[in-house]
């Protein structure tokens, strides 16, 4: 099953592959990603890779014609690359109101490189009291996100997945992921997935369909069963989910798998 989030991951992986295979020149050239909303304009500038390293990555925020912030961004390492808008608009920096306070936030997204990892966001909001921009960092793992107004209230949600399920029971390629939806409110990211039962139910159905398909092709499907059960817990249907998973999975390691799965779901907060 190809999901929006997996397609984002693949596109980022493709970009990483291109950057590691392209022939680079001795002299780096500067590039800029730009976004604007109302009187707020943001720019991320950086030097194109030399030996695959992104250098001099800076964020500049101009508000009402005045430069409020102009500083080097805190990359984990020089291989972290700015990716612009994860919704697919290249060289477009997301600048929009995330919390309804009539003041746009700035989202600086980074991809750390590698086959499967990782994506993180630096989100900047303007603080009227200090007249400065304050940032938080949010980790997305392999999956990334898309900004969508899921409840049609005029504010976007971060439509993502729970990347803690990667490799938890099987290989990365055979892993499934529960749905995760986030709000940005008062300078914090808040998990609001349970507010969207219809979306969770649809997602659980997709996971089950994928499990059925790959199980017929010879895979044990443990990764997708785990994600399906997590979705069922989000719906308050954990008991029903367990019955279905236990009826479906008949492999010789079923006792250990069920014990590991129960422990993992408890540790990740799906049930107590």
Total-model pTM: 0.84
Condensed to tens digits (0 to 9), the pLDDT of residues 28-56 reads: 578 899 999 999 999 999 987 667 778 88
pLDDT at 1: 40
In terms of average pLDDT, the best of 5-19, 31-45, 89-103 is 31-45
Q: Which residue has the higher pLDDT, 49 or 162?
A: 162
In terms of average pLDDT, the best of 6-15, 16-25, 58-67, 85-94 is 58-67
Among candidates 37, 53, 18, which has minimal Cα distance to 107?
37
Consecutive H or E run containing 197: helix 197-216
- CATH number for the domain whose boundaries are 1-143: 2.40.128
Mean pLDDT over each residue of the chain, to the nearest integer: 87
Exposed, middle or buried, 266 (CB in 10 Å: 0-12/13-18/19+)? exposed
DSSP label at 248? H
Residue 239 — pLDDT band, cuts 50, 70, 90? very high
Condensed to tens digits (0 to 9), the pLDDT of residues 125-153 reads: 999 999 999 999 999 998 899 999 999 99
Residues 6 or more apart from 254 whose CB is under 8 A from it? Answer: 246
Domain ranges of the chain: 1-143
pLDDT at 62: 97
């Amino acid at each position: 099953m190809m999901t929006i989030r997996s397609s984002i991951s693949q596109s980022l992986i493709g970009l990483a592959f291109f950057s590691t295979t392209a022939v680079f020149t001795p002299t780096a050239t500067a590039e800029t990603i730009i976004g604007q909303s109302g009187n707020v304009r943001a720019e991320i500038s950086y030097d194109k890779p030399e030996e695959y390293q992104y250098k001099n990555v800076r964020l500049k925020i101009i508000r009402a014609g005045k430069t409020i912030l102009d500083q080097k961004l805190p990359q984990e390492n020089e291989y972290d690359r700015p990716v612009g808008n994860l919704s697919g608009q290249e060289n477009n920096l997301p600048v929009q109101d995330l919390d309804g306070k009539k003041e746009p936030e700035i989202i600086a997204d980074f991809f750390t490189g590698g086959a499967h990892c990782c994506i993180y966001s630096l989100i900047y909001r303007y603080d009227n009291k200090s007249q400065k921009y304050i940032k938080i960092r949010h980790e997305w793992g392999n999956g990334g996100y898309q900004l969508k107004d899921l409840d049609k209230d005029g504010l976007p949600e971060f439509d993502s997945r729970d990347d803690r399920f990667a490799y938890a029971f099987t290989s990365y390629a055979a892993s499934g992921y529960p749905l995760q939806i986030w709000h940005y409110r008062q300078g914090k990211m808040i998990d609001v997935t349970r507010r969207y039962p219809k979306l969770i139910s649809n997602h659980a159905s997709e996971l089950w369909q994928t499990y059925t398909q790959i199980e017929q092709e010879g895979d044990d499907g443990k990764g997708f069963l785990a994600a399906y059960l997590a979705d069922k817990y989000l719906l308050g249907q954990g008991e029903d989910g367990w019955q279905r998973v236990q009826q479906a999975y008949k492999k010789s390691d079923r006792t250990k798998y069920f014990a590991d799965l129960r422990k993992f779901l408890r540790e990740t907060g799906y049930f107590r």
